[in-house]
Amino acid sequence: MDLSQYSLASTLGIPVKKLLSKLEIWDAHSHIGTDKDGHAIGPTAFLAQMKANHVQRAVAFPLNTPDDPNFTKSNDQIIQIAKKHKEIIPFFRLDPKKEWEKEFDRVLDQEFQGIKLHPLSQNFPLNDPEFRKICSRAQDAKLVLLIHLGFGVKNTADHIFRIATEFPKLRIILGHAGFVDVEEVIKAVGDFENVLFDTSGIRVFDICELFQHLDDRRIAFGSDVPYFTLDVAIYSLLDTALLMGKSQKAIKRIFHDNLVRWLT
């Protein structure tokens, strides 16, 4: 389906398809595998989406895999996919409540570039001592830390402020941009150099909130595949950016430059 026909920016005469054809896209937030909630996508289908939507590279990590409590099998699958397909930037996943140090040490030399943590799925608070230990290890290992701050995670601003302050060299990606607490999170860490807000799975008016109150250098495109498809994620962000008057230079930063700066 050609989503440009549904683009409000296109109907106003803004050349969305032309701009998109010239845009390099890196995705900060995607999954490969099968989740306990039933969502699933394999590497072949995901890579096909990337190719169809001109996405050059994508951060990918396991879903909340059934019967894999330490994510050992799932992490192995991600790194094997990344070795075969250089388009994939591999992140591993941990559960702070289940022997995470053993898994951290096991995968540390396997060319992963970051860690995904999910406070809701793994049922841990952001002031959990084990979570803070992971932050410390990630900073020492120069790994990016992506934290789910979407559905089910509330009142996060103070915790994220403490983490970003305590670990100033830790590069933190706020998955789903803080979502339900987005206004307070922006106030707390919006000007922190070690924090990026990814746009995965957030509503258009939350995207507007980011654009109104954040420097463009603090925002990175994220798709949230398989919960969204790449084309929907790309068009919703691009359409909103154009309608809010973002320059092509700003759009390039959001879709490409900001994530590249952290991962290369």
Highest mean pLDDT among 18-32, 123-137, 226-240: 123-137
| Rounded distance between C-alpha atoms, residue 59 and residue 230, angstroms | 13
Give Cα 136 distance to the centre of its chain. 20
pLDDT value at residue 9? 58
Task: State in Å, rounded, how far the first CA of the chain is from the last one.
Answer: 33
pLDDT value at residue 17? 75
CB contact at 8 A, 226 and 41: yes
pTM: 0.94
The dihedral region occupied by 23, where left means phi > 0, alpha psi between -120 and 50, and beta the remainder, is: beta
pLDDT value at residue 218? 98
| Rounded distance between C-alpha atoms, residue 110 and residue 165, angstroms | 29
Phi, psi of 77 (to 5 degrees): -65, -40
* Residues 142, 260, 45, 91, Cα dihedral to 10°: 10
pLDDT value at residue 8? 61
Confidence of residue 243 (pLDDT cuts 50, 70, 90): confident
Residue 34's CB: how many other CB atoms inside 10 A? 19
Phi, psi of 169 (to 5 degrees): -100, 0
Confidence of residue 262 (pLDDT cuts 50, 70, 90): very high
Omega of the bond leading into 226 within 30 degrees of 0 (cis): yes
Phi, psi of 105 (to 5 degrees): -65, -35
pLDDT over threshold 90, residue 5: no
Confidence of residue 3 (pLDDT cuts 50, 70, 90): low
- Name the 3-class secondary structure at 33: strand
* 63-101 tens-digit pLDDT: 999 999 899 999 999 999 999 999 999 999 999 999 999
Confidence of residue 235 (pLDDT cuts 50, 70, 90): confident
pLDDT value at residue 154? 75
pLDDT value at residue 257? 98
* 117-154 tens-digit pLDDT: 999 999 999 999 999 999 999 999 999 999 999 877 77
The CATH classification number of 3-263 equals 3.20.20.140
pLDDT value at residue 150? 81
Domain ranges of the chain: 3-263
Q: Tokens in use for 105? A: 């040490």
CB contact at 8 A, 196 and 262: yes
| Rounded distance between C-alpha atoms, residue 250 and residue 237, angstroms | 12
The dihedral region occupied by 7, where left means phi > 0, alpha psi between -120 and 50, and beta the remainder, is: beta
CB contact at 8 A, 179 and 206: yes
- Looking only at the bridges linking them, the beta strands covering 144-148 and 88-93 are unpaired
Mean pLDDT over residues 17-35, rounded? 90
pLDDT value at residue 18? 75
Length of the chain: 264
